[in-house]
Structure 1
Amino acid sequence: MPLNNERPTSTSSGEDQGSDVDSSSERHDSVTSTSDGEFSRASFTSDSSSKHCTPSSSPPKILTLDEVMTAAQDIISLKFAHELIMNRNILREPVNLPQNSLWKIVKDTVHKAYWDILESELKEDPPQYEHAIKLVEEIREILLSFLNPGANRMRTQIMEILDVDLIRQQADNNAVDIQGLASSIITTMGKLCAPCRDEELNKLQRGSDNIVMLFKEIFRVLDLMKMDAINSEIDFLRPMLQSMSVDCERSMFQRILDKTPTALRHTTSWIKASIEELLLASNSNMGQTSSQEKQQKVLPGPFQILNNAFLHILTWDLSKSPMPETLMTQELQLREIQSQLQQYQAINEVLLIVYSTVGGPIQGLASLSERLKRMASVLLDGMHSPHFNLEEALKGASEQICCELNKSLTERDYPALTPALQATLTGQICNITQRDNPIRTLVEDRVHQYFKMLLRDPKPQVKLEEVPAGLSAIKPELMSLGAKYVSLVKYNISTYGPFYSDIIRKLMFSDSPPAPTPPVDTAQDSVTSS
């Protein structure tokens, strides 16, 4: 990302989201820049001899319906390409429609009608083969679609075995061996299917006296073979896409931007809000500085702006504003991090209240702490769901925790919790639903400090274990989320750095012509500055 006056170097992506960005972490030191404090207009300029490479957008225009549909398809392609590159476990499976759904009812009705027609034709005297020939022709096209371009011999064999013109002539003379034709199809399928389908082929080869049922099963197995072919193609494409993942995703987004000039509207608002927040904080601090320092206006650096913007993503409210467009390919991962972080914070708040209320009798009992944590985790699972009753869940968790505490206390000859203390504990735990609850505020602030430290530090992997005081109960979970989040941020900045650079420059220096952007050749230049 051309956020500093630096020379980029080339790189390639790893195998998935974790490995790609983790390896990127080893090549680069930080999402932040050590020269952020010295940010100026020069931060967005480069040597005149440098290769110019900056994201561009067209002036606003009215889009036709076809252009809107094309742009929507480009967005779908971008999301799929990102998932294909980052998720090594992505596999296509045959679509199973929900029972009693309208689509399933329509599909089953149409298919049943077709197979009924085929069965009635074959039962006529003499048999009619019009629908059967159409099925054979469709099967032939499916089998041919499995072949590589150079498989001429197999192509010739399929064309000879499933010669539709010859089959029509045989049908006209009532000489079609439909059972033998099905057997030849199954044999050919056996030569093309993946080893994992051997059992399915064995079932087909055992055959059925009902030719309609046999053809139904043939098409079912062909559908499975289609999925196998798609998954094989995915496995083939992934290494090539991963080697150029950043450039691929960036160029796809640029095509979307070319067709939809307003495609960075939410991203611009997101970055603008970060800039305004930092400037407001800077102005507030100016009151504590000397008059000489006040004359030197300090602007926030580009990495400082982005780090601050990404911190807000952790608490982003999708009901009020959609995610920035540059995060749409990572939205599911980011939402998962949000929901997990929300749950871990609530668990930590509950445990802090328990230990501060009960005190000494339960201090230092690791097994008890783990049981209370597991109990709270189960009862608060899914708390990010819109229909989740958090207050009711916290009340239930309080009751379970009180029972567990009493059991532990009595086993060690301590008096059980009094009803008054249990009521106090339950009330304090249920009160964390309030935004101004001091325990909740404390935990959220320290979690914010933790993620801020990770984004700013040159070597965040080293800092993962430096969890702030009061968060030790969720330390393993925070470390895992922290590593995952930093990786997502680094990859995102690597990919969309030129767009962020252009937006920040225009927002910060809109009073002057935009300066040329330094060259962006690869992922490396986006993540860190030298």
Structure 2
Amino acid sequence: MPLSNEKNSVSEDLISDSDSSGLSESTASSSDYDSSRQSFTSDSSSKPSSPASSPPKSVTFDELMAAANDLSNMILAHEIVVNEKFHLEQIDLPEKSVESRVKEIVHKAFWDSLESELNEDPPEYEHAIKLFEEIKEILLSFLAPGANRLRNQICEVLDIDLIRQQADHSAVDICGLANYVVNTMGKLCAPVRDEDVKKLQTTGSIVQLLRDIFHVLDLMKMDMINYTIQNLRPHLQRQIVDYERTKFQEILDKTPNALSQTTEWIKESIEDILSTLPSPGTEQSSGSNLSPTQVLNNGYLKLLQGDYQTKALPETLMTDETRLQELKEKLNHVKVVACILLITHNTVGAATAGIPEFAEQLKTITTVLLDGMNKKKFDLKEALNTISIKMCFEINKFLTEKDYPTLTNETQASLMGQICSIGEEDNPVCNLIDKRVLLYMKSLLCLPSAQRNMPSMPGGLAPVQIEMESIGTQYANIVNFNKQVYGPFYANILRKLLFSETSGQGEAGPVTE
């Protein structure tokens, strides 16, 4: 194939490889509210950007801040789409912290001052009226555009000018206004807040009632935000590829070196593949013969092996950093479980063959005892020793119940020794499981988009098949979506890295677009 055709096909290969592998849409639930709310729609006018390279230039502080803002918006939109459980929660300050103590003192001073003003003769209502003015605005913000009747009622009852006139003549009914607010909150709140609103009706002190009203209103505001996020998700899902690609292009325009780590990641993947090919200098070892998809898939697989807590992720994968780290930790846990079960089966499999319930019991025990193994303080050596003892105990107990001879001392010592050696470097069982896990993950990435069936599970992984399929599906979704968004950016980098050698003895030459 002519070189120019190869270069032109790079982008096509990447995009066609992931066109139909996007994330499935989740339906936004409207059950949290009795009446429908207006949903927000994102701007659909943006078109997918064609990645452009820019000459090196100095970046001003304003440009850097603008790029950071673009990145923040892109990360938020990405999180809403890919994380169906994404929601916002109120942040509670740590108990006994300085911030918590200061907040407590300031709030107490405010409410004590309000109580003192209301207890004066005649009462001073100005601060209370300001609170009702704020409550009015919050209640109005909960209303859908068509709720004119309730809007008019709230504006009429909480007419601040009228309330001030009543206060000037000592005719204002603070308790009556507070009760109206509580009843209105009951009409507007999500079902999950019904109990909180009912408790407001039993509050005796007017100051405590106002304080509790603001607390419940804060919860209702958070409910409203999360409800809006649910409704926003389907709209973002239809536009997220174009949106992320456009936003990243804007970041790249402001910070031209924003793909440096991505370029290094792809370069390392190419070098890794070439190191496994025939001796350097042969036609087979030429980078121009590598498939762009092959290079990217190898790079994605490396993400499951590398330590990206000390080594930076490619910029194009920053939005999935947390998810990738969690998947890697889950995979490490599953690998150790698979190693232990494989060793156990090979040692005593004949005695327990055909008893899936017992095999599942051993798996559960192993999984529980390895819980938290990715934490720094976790002692894997001690955990493996405990598991080995527990395995021998459970197996002997099972064999005794079935009137079979128990394990000999030699078999127990062999089983315990093999399990404890899993934590050692270059353990043959661990190396075997590692290779088969990567083989399975690679088969998922190479799976045609039209094929819905999962690939066959390699030997030794059958006991953890459910866990592997779950992790594999999440991983493949991240990769396929990433290809859809950043395929054109990867294509530009791959053209330069794979075909530059034709310009002269490995030196980077001009790229023909």
Quickly name the TM-score band, shorter chain normalised. Answer: 0.7 to 0.9
Within 5 A, what are the aligned runs for 1:62-461? 62-149=58-145, 151=147, 153-204=149-200, 206-284=201-279, 299-358=289-348, 360-458=350-448, 461=451
Contact 1:14/1:243 (CA < 8 Å) preserved in 2? no
Q: Is the 8 A contact 2:49 2:249 kept in 1?
A: no
Q: What are structure 1's unaligned runs of at least 5 residues?
A: 20-50, 288-292, 517-530
> Cα 1:242–1:132, aligned 2, differ >3 Å: closer, same or farther?
same
Task: State how far apart, in whole Å, the 2-side matches of 1:390 and 1:172 are.
Answer: 73
Compared CA separation, residues 262 and 113, structure 1 to 2 (3 A)? farther
Distance 1:11 1:402, change over 3 A: closer
SS of the residue 2:480 aligns to: helix
Matching of residue 501 in structure 1 with residue 491 in structure 2:
yes
Measured against aligned partners, the alpha-carbon deviations of 1:380-424 in whole angstroms (never above 9, x if no partner) come to: 122112221111111111110010111122233333234443333
Q: 1:474 is matched with which residue?
A: 464
1:512 corresponding residue in structure 2: 509
Q: Provide closer, same or farther for how the CA distance between residues 18 and 164 of structure 1 changes in structure 2, counting only shifts above 3 A.
A: closer
Paired amino acid for 1:108: E
* Equivalent residue number for residue 42 of structure 2: none
Q: Does structure 2 retain, via aligned residues, the 8 Å contact 1:12–1:242? A: no
Tell me the distance in 1 between the aligned counterparts of 2:296 and 2:512: 20
1:251 corresponds to which letter in structure 2?
T
State whether residues 278 and 285 of structure 2, in contact with CA within 8 Å, keep that contact through their aligned partners in structure 1: no
- Residue 158 of structure 1 deviates from its aligned partner by 3.0
> What letter matches 2:292 in structure 1?
P
How many equivalent residue pairs?
A: 479
Report deviation, 1:326.
Answer: 1.4
Alignment identity in percent? 49
Cα distance, 1:156 vs structure 2: 4.0
1:13/1:242 contact within 8 Å kept? no
Give, in whole Å, the separation in 2 of the partners of 1:10 and 1:470.
33
Q: Check conservation: 2:178, 2:210, Cα contact below 8 A.
A: yes
Query: For residues 460 and 483 of structure 1, do their structure 2 counterparts lie closer, same or farther at Cα, with a shift above 3 Å needed?
Result: farther
Mean Cα deviation higher: 147-156 or 274-283: 147-156
* AA aligned opposite 2:345: Y
CA contact (8 A) 2:129 2:160 kept: yes
Q: Gaps (5+ residues) in structure 2?
A: 1-7, 29-46, 501-507
Q: CA deviation at 1:210?
A: 0.9
Q: Is the 8 A contact 1:17 1:488 kept in 2?
A: no
Partner deviation per Cα, 1:444-503 (whole Å, 9 max, x = no partner): 111112222222232695663411222222222222222222222111101111111122
Cα pair distance change 1:14/1:274, threshold 3 Å? closer
Q: What code does the residue aligned with 2:99 have?
A: W
Kindly indicate whether the alpha-carbon contact (under 8 Å) linking 1:506 and 1:514 is maintained by their aligned counterparts in 2: yes
Q: Give the direction of change, closer, same or farther, for the CA distance of 1:187–1:60 in structure 2 (3 Å limit).
A: farther
Q: CA deviation at 1:5?
A: 4.5
Shift of 1:191: 4.1
- Kindly state the Cα deviation for residue 115 of structure 1 after the two structures are TM-superposed: 0.7
Q: For 1:296 and 1:195, locate their aligned partners in 2 and report how far apart those are by CA, in whole Å.
A: 64
Question: Cα distance, 1:359 vs. partner?
Answer: 5.1
Q: Is the 8 A contact 2:186 2:197 kept in 1?
A: yes
Aligned equivalents of 1:276, 1:508: Cα separation in 2? 11
Structure 1 residues 309-356: Cα deviation after superposition (integer angstroms, max 9, x where no partner): 011111121233022221122222222221111111111111222233
**Is the Cα contact below 8 Å between 1:347 and 1:376 reproduced in 2?**
yes
Of stretches 257-266 and 114-123 in structure 1, the one that deviates more from structure 2 is: 257-266
Question: Following the alignment from structure 1 to structure 2, what is the Cα–Cα distance between the partners of residues 125 and 190?
Answer: 33
Alpha-carbon deviation of 1:507? 2.2
Task: Quote the Cα distance in structure 2 between the aligned partners of 1:274 and 1:53.
Answer: 26
**Greater relative CO (CA pairs within 8 A, separation 6+):** 1
Equivalent-residue separation in structure 1 for 2:326 and 2:207 (angstroms): 47
Q: What is the distance in 2 between the residues matched to 1:442 and 1:15?
A: 34
What's the Cα RMSD here? 3.1
Distance 2:164 2:9 in 1: 66
Q: Check 1:298–1:223 CA distance in 2 against 1; reply closer, same or farther (3 A cut).
A: closer
Partner AA of 1:480 in structure 2: S
Aligned to 1:464: 454
In 2, the alpha carbon distance for the partners of 1:10 and 1:447 equals 26
Q: CA deviation at 1:300?
A: 0.8
Structure 2 CA distance, aligned partners of 1:295 and 1:377? 43
- Is the contact made by 2:329 and 2:374 (CA closer than 8 Å) also made in structure 1? yes
CA displacement, residues 92-147 of structure 1 (integer Å, 9 cap, x when unaligned): 33333333233332222221111111111111122112221221121122123223
CA shift, 1:152, in A, is 5.0
Q: Which range moves more in the overlay, 422-431 or 109-118? A: 422-431
Q: Supply the distance in 2 between the matched residues of 1:151 and 1:2 (Cα, whole angstroms).
A: 55
Report if the CA contact (8 A) 2:241-2:485 is conserved: yes
